Homo-oligomer: A and B are copies of this chain.
């Protein structure tokens, strides 16, 4: 048992749930997080209070642990290179994924279907945007780095792009064809240090205002589509280096094609239901993967629906309605321990287990409505 001490860059809700999964396996966790008494620290992790991008803090972390991982992409990937302890998954994978243009190119090179895209050169943006509209028709422009939950994405037209893109300043951008989709799908997939891969059943995700808000497990899709999505997830994982959990987000297009939208090299919101709904949670799976243990069973034990609890105002947390929400059968609450709420901030989630996804969905919607935070 040589990878006993786990270091995580980031101590938010994902770091917290990783900490909770690590302890029963005899693993101790230290996190880097800028906020005092971060969600992971509340769950018993040691905390180095520092910025996610602080290279000195990463060195300090590495001096205290046996393996380093992360819970967010917006960190200093360079600082993870050349550390004296193993880093999982590979920081190289993180560097590529962090830049969405490089990520797309990596996927295309591996023969994985994605929406058409092109680089935008800020020196000749006029020319490139003209090409993009010509080639794609409907265009979405994205910042290559730093975007999340829809931030950094902009749907543009030939009429408004100059005005809208001005807000991005000199940030590197690229353009993508807007693919109209029937459903969004996701697969959580894990690789251990020996290269063994285990993948979870395909789920459907429902985004609202670009934030993953609902997860339906399993996805209600044709078995043929399911098989295609599983294959694509497996192929995608094969080009990502290192051990750990990855989330593969996909579109099922209107003409029944499955394409990869985005890859996250970490535990992910689309896998929170696995805590209750699968034999091994994505959090336990990640800890097993990066500490050299074999992967656990990904078998589903129940249909489930996960719904996020997003902040609806700015201010101190004041939870109400918990008793009503939990009175619905099969309802489970996960609060993240954040002291203040903000509009659209992820404050917690509810997972509902039921005999069918449609039943779980109905309960999740009404249970969520009972809660204010």
B330 touches A293 (CB 8 A): no
Query: Which chain B residue has the least Cβ–Cβ distance from A196?
Result: B327
Instruction: Tell yes or no: A119 within 8 A of B by CB.
Output: no
B302 touches A279 (CB 8 A): yes
B301 touches A353 (CB 8 A): yes
B301 touches A333 (CB 8 A): no
Query: Which chain B residue has the least Cβ–Cβ distance from A322?
Result: B1
With A44-B42, A280-B332 in contact, is A294–B24 under 8 Å at CB?
A: no
Contacting residues, chain B, for A348 (C-beta < 8 A): 24
Instruction: Tell yes or no: A166 within 8 A of B by CB.
Output: no
A334 to B276, CA, bound (A): 16
Binary CB contact string for chain A from 310 to 347 against chain B (1 if under 8 A, 0 otherwise): 00000000011011001101111111010000000000
Contacting residues, chain B, for A276 (C-beta < 8 A): 279
A136 to B322, CA, bound (A): 53
Instruction: Tell yes or no: A201 within 8 A of B by CB.
Output: no
Question: What's the tally of chain A residues with a CB closer than 8 Å to chain B?
Answer: 38
Contacting residues, chain B, for A331 (C-beta < 8 A): 296
B326 touches A294 (CB 8 A): yes
A294 to B280, CA, bound (A): 26
A23 touches B337 (CB 8 A): yes
Interchain CB contact (< 8 A) of A326 among B44, B293, B320, B326: B293
Contacting residues, chain B, for A322 (C-beta < 8 A): 1, 25-26, 293
Interchain CB contact (< 8 A) of A335 among B20, B26, B299, B326: B26
With A43-B44, A297-B353 in contact, is A326–B288 under 8 Å at CB?
A: yes
Contacting residues, chain B, for A299 (C-beta < 8 A): 330, 353
Instruction: Tell yes or no: A147 within 8 A of B by CB.
Output: no
Instruction: Tell yes or no: A113 within 8 A of B by CB.
Output: no
Instruction: Tell yes or no: A172 within 8 A of B by CB.
Output: no
Contacting residues, chain B, for A34 (C-beta < 8 A): none
A297 to B354, CA, bound (A): 10
Contacting residues, chain B, for A292 (C-beta < 8 A): 323
A323 touches B280 (CB 8 A): no
With A43-B43, A276-B279, A320-B1 in contact, is A296–B24 under 8 Å at CB?
A: no
Interchain CB contact (< 8 A) of A319 among B1, B294, B297, B323: B1
Contacting residues, chain B, for A302 (C-beta < 8 A): 279, 301
A296 to B322, CA, bound (A): 13
Interchain CB contact (< 8 A) of A20 among B20, B329, B353: B20
Interchain CB contact (< 8 A) of A279 among B24, B297, B330: B330
B330 touches A297 (CB 8 A): yes
Min CB distance, A291 to chain B, in Å? 9
A154 to B334, CA, bound (A): 46
A43 touches B23 (CB 8 A): yes
Contacting residues, chain B, for A25 (C-beta < 8 A): 322, 333, 335
Contacting residues, chain B, for A326 (C-beta < 8 A): 288, 293-294, 296
Min CB distance, A183 to chain B, in Å? 26
A residues 65-105 near B (Cβ < 8 Å) are: none
Contacting residues, chain B, for A332 (C-beta < 8 A): 24, 279-280, 284, 296
Contacting residues, chain B, for A334 (C-beta < 8 A): 24
9 nearest A-B pairs in the assembled complex, by CB-CB distance: A301-B301, A44-B44, A294-B327, A24-B334, A26-B335, A297-B330, A43-B44, A297-B329, A279-B353
Q: Which residues of A contact B (CB under 8 A)?
A: 1, 20, 23-26, 42-44, 276, 279-280, 284, 288, 292-294, 296-297, 299, 301-302, 319-320, 322-323, 326-327, 329-335, 337, 348, 353
